[in-house]
Amino acid sequence: MITQDKVHSLYGLDVYDNDGDRIGTVGAVWTDGAGRPVWASARTGLFGLNESLFPLQNAELRGDNVVVPFDKATVKDAPNVDADHDEPLDRDEVRRLYEHYGFRWEDGHHGFADGGRDYADHDWEAAGHGGDTRGAVDAGDGAMTRSEERLNVGTERERVGRARLRKYVVTEPEQVSVPVSREEVRLEREPITDRNRDAAYSGPDLTESEHEVTLHAERPVVGTETVPVERVRLGKETVTEQQEVGRHVRKERIEADLPGEQDRTVG
């Protein structure tokens, strides 16, 4: 149970569902006539441009997080209520929220009772939006507090892609010039001289004979072997760049009615 003294500490806290999934951040809080927190909005979507209302019944503060007993889809699909206007919730809006979250309008056993009255019987014209007292006059010193929204810009880490290395085999032609040698027959004639005369006359005078010479030649032989040529790995680096973000913010203006002067805007 989130008590009244925790109202102002809720703004900007992360909202998580009952499965631990982040829904958004608290943008506004609605209280009942007694100032007790009853509803809050979770800013969701890109840059938190959407706001979904959820009941603070059974919600818990766990550190800097608000944990609700609903899943993320239930909260994000809640009926659309314009949280940008500083207005209390009307009866129809409350009834639609009751139906969405499965509350019974007539029994009032949901932790919203006020002196025995059902939540539906509250005077919601008196229920503040955002849990503050904007527009109220401090009777102590006659001063009026002017408030405005400020942009709280941060970053969140998300997965945008994956990279992987994949190795595959391709076949391509490759031409290599290889020198080869071969033997050829060359006819050599030598005249009869004193050095070879004896060999020349050692045989019969007239005969028939044959003599064979074996020729050899080289031929290319092609084979392959696998050798390592390089190593490849994936590396990551962080690149920081500037991005412009923005949204509409609400600011209070105070007009003073002074005797003898036209309306004057202060701040």
The rounded percent of the chain whose pLDDT value lies above 90 is: 26
- pLDDT tens-digit map of 119-170: 444 433 333 334 433 333 333 455 677 788 888 888 888 888 889 999 999 9
pLDDT at 45: 65
CA distance 144 to 182: 112
Distance CA 181, CA 191 (A): 31
Each residue of 179-189: pLDDT tens digit?
999 999 998 88
Phi, psi of 65 (to 5 degrees): -125, 150
Q: With the C-alpha atoms ordered 105, 110, 111, 117, is the resulting torsion angle positive or negative?
A: positive
All structural domains of the chain, each given as residue ranges with its CATH number in brackets, are 4-132 (3.90.50.10)
Spell out a b/e string for 248-258, using b for 16 or more CB atoms within 10 Å of the CB, else e.
eeeeeeeeeee
Which has more confidence, 128 or 200?
200
Scanning the chain, the segments in alpha helix (DSSP H) are 72-76, 91-100, 197-200
125-129, 144-148, 199-203, 237-241 — most confident range: 237-241
Where residue 115 falls among pLDDT bands split at 50, 70, 90?
very low
Q: How far apart are CA 160 and CA 244, in angstroms?
A: 19
Residues 6+ apart with CB under 8 A from 81: 41, 51, 53, 89, 93, 97
* 204-217 mean pLDDT: 85
Angle at CA of residue 26, ends 11 and 250, nearest 5°: 70
Q: With 50 as the cut, is the pLDDT of residue 217 above it?
A: yes
- Does 85 score more than 70 pLDDT? no
Q: Which residues contact 133 (CB under 8 A, 6 or more apart)?
A: 145
Contact 57, 112 (CB under 8 A): yes
The reported pLDDT for the residue numbered 171 is 93
Query: Residue 91: helix, strand or coil by DSSP?
Result: helix
> What letter represents residue 88's amino acid?
P
166 Cβ contact list (under 8 Å, min separation 6):
none
Residue 112: pLDDT over 50: no
Structure confidence at residue 215 (pLDDT): 93
